[in-house]
Chain A
């Protein structure tokens, strides 16, 4: 018998949903939704230019979705897909344009190649000169050393010492100039810049190191770090001055939500960001980008300057982690290994009732061997680390609380003025801190608050106000 039959969805009819784009047009059964919006402009990247390709994001998958708020909310921002190039999957540079397409580009390439060749010749000559001068220096030094046994030659020794110092200064200038010439001979070449821009920088090469350092200093990462350090008053509170020369990254665990979004277990911490105490239960990993070729020793400190001290009704410092004599150079691995061998790591535990705590990780350079400053001449002559090895004793559990950073720095002649690295994050009390106190610190968890306010009207409140 007859029953209502459901029409197939492909059939147009006024039961089916018609997408109406332009309201002034008459409803036609074959309106195509694509024509309702101006077509999105697709960027064409015809050449194997990965830098340019990564700049043009892929267009949204769904064409023909109307621009309503709900649709925009549903349409998640798809991050641009970048080609996976790294040291594991290396690629080599190719010309972005074929020869003859843009004559200015061909001319530019030949100019840069010629300039690079000229500078390389100059650098070769400079290296010969430096070698000769260094040989002269060594001769003089040997002469001075031989006079040490001879008595009565003090004046001559002083003369020779002055001459040696002058030679050393000249050598230093020559080495600085050589460094500049060597960097400039390679830094303009497009293949070198492409390599560094595509995560294939080789820190043993002088020009790659230079480009990575320039990126760190000029592209905003260092600016952000210093802004956070100064805004959070780390610089006057913890140490008087910090001029970083090393790029320090702190990597901590991700929260469950971050893990869901990125599928990554660890994430780099933005300087000044808030972390949960659970994220820093395990010691965070420290990664460094070092720009000096010689091996220097650094001391790592992790301090919390905002621990409440009820006796002084103020705040004091707590030392969470320390390791002295960390050898770092351009050729050392990115991640600093074996950090828990000295003063072991105690996870941050911001106390209940106290405002948020700042946790500052510092890498302070140890004083140079036999000089007041690190020099290129000392670096060129060095066989091992160019810093003094400091025998800093392990800080006991009782000494951690109330650790005087400035006194420590004065005692061991550490300073952040001439180099080093810094990083910071913030934390506030969580229920996990109770667990830290119970399991790791094995102490009673303190609870802080403001002192009770004296009620000036307490005696009046006790008296009767009205006669009745």
Chain B
């Protein structure tokens, strides 16, 4: 055995050199740009033997603490910001509710006054109209329209959200912006 009796840094044996990452699967020479799907599968089936990295299925995650510390450096500060934000939202909510209540009160006073003055007009004012009712102009147009157009018009109920309403997305659509779109005339 070539162990030296004197223990010093210079006489320390070199550690067996193990490479940083070991490949346990066969790979052809000059693979070039590999298929990303095959790479992912390969990485899952043969995970690299690097230590101090999170395990593949998340049983050990040493980086989480650091990440949380970066995002929320202080629990107390986080709680303070949370309280301030909720307080701000509460103020907005109260303002909105107060405004709505004020409008309702004004409306109620006006309707009460109308009821005193003229009960017939009051009943007229209280009448709820049918959102699917058709005007005379619309009845005329119906005679000259195609069946598909007719269906489209009948499906659009007043008060219902428009069909063109789009939820904003993170990425644009694949088909791009439709410059030729025109809204079609709908007699209300």
Contact = CB atoms under 8 A, between A and B. Distances in A.
A38 B75 CA distance: 27
Interface of A: 10-14, 25-26, 28-30, 38-39, 41, 43-44, 46-47, 49, 51-52, 55, 96-97, 101-102, 104-105, 107-109, 111-112, 115, 188, 190, 193-194
Nearest to B52: A38
B175 interface: no
A108 B81 contact: yes
B76 interface: yes
Q: Which of B13, B66, B76: most chain A CB closer than 10 A?
A: B76
B74 A96 contact: yes
22 contacts: A28-B15, A28-B16, A29-B13, A30-B12, A38-B52, A38-B62, A43-B65, A46-B73, A47-B73, A47-B74, A52-B74, A52-B75, A97-B74, A97-B77, A101-B73, A108-B81, A108-B83, A108-B85, A188-B87, A190-B79, A190-B80, A194-B76
B41 interface: no
Contact of B7 (A10, A28, A52, A101): A10
A108 B84 contact: yes
B76 A190 contact: yes
A200 B7 CA distance: 56
B73 A188 contact: no
A55 to B, nearest CB: 7
Interface string B75-114: 1110111011101100100000000000000000000000
B5 interface: yes
Contacts of B51: 38
Interface string B2-38: 0101010000110110100000000000000000000
Q: For the complex of A and B, list the 7 residue pairs with the smallest distance between their C-beta atoms, beginning with the closest.
A: A108-B84, A96-B74, A108-B81, A111-B84, A96-B76, A52-B75, A105-B77
Given A13-B5, A14-B3, A30-B15, 20 more contacts: A11-B7, A13-B1, A14-B1, A29-B13, A38-B62, A43-B65, A44-B69, A51-B75, A52-B75, A52-B76, A55-B75, A96-B74, A96-B76, A108-B80, A108-B81, A109-B80, A112-B84, A188-B83, A188-B87, A194-B76
Interface in B127-185: none
A104 B81 contact: yes
A51 B77 CA distance: 11
A97 B60 CA distance: 30
Given A11-B5, A29-B3, A112-B87, A97 B18 contact: no
B84 A107 contact: yes
A49 B87 contact: no
Interface residues of B, number: 30
Contact of B87 (A43, A105, A115): A115
B114 to A, nearest CB: 34
Contacts of B18: 25
A425 B73 CA distance: 43
B121 to A, nearest CB: 40
A41 B77 contact: no
B8 to A, nearest CB: 11
Interface string B47-73: 000011000000010100110010001
Contacts of A108: 80-81, 83-85
A106 to B, nearest CB: 10
A112 B75 CA distance: 17
Nearest to A35: B51
A127 B16 CA distance: 81
Contacts of B69: 43-44
Contacts of B74: 47, 49, 52, 96-97
A261 B170 CA distance: 59
B73 A97 contact: yes
A102 B77 contact: yes
A188 B84 contact: yes
Contacts of A112: 80, 83-84, 87
B52 A26 contact: no
B3 A12 contact: yes
Nearest to B83: A188
Nearest to A47: B74
Contacts of A55: 75
B81 A105 contact: yes
Contact of B60 (A38, A43, A105): A38
Contacts of B65: 41, 43
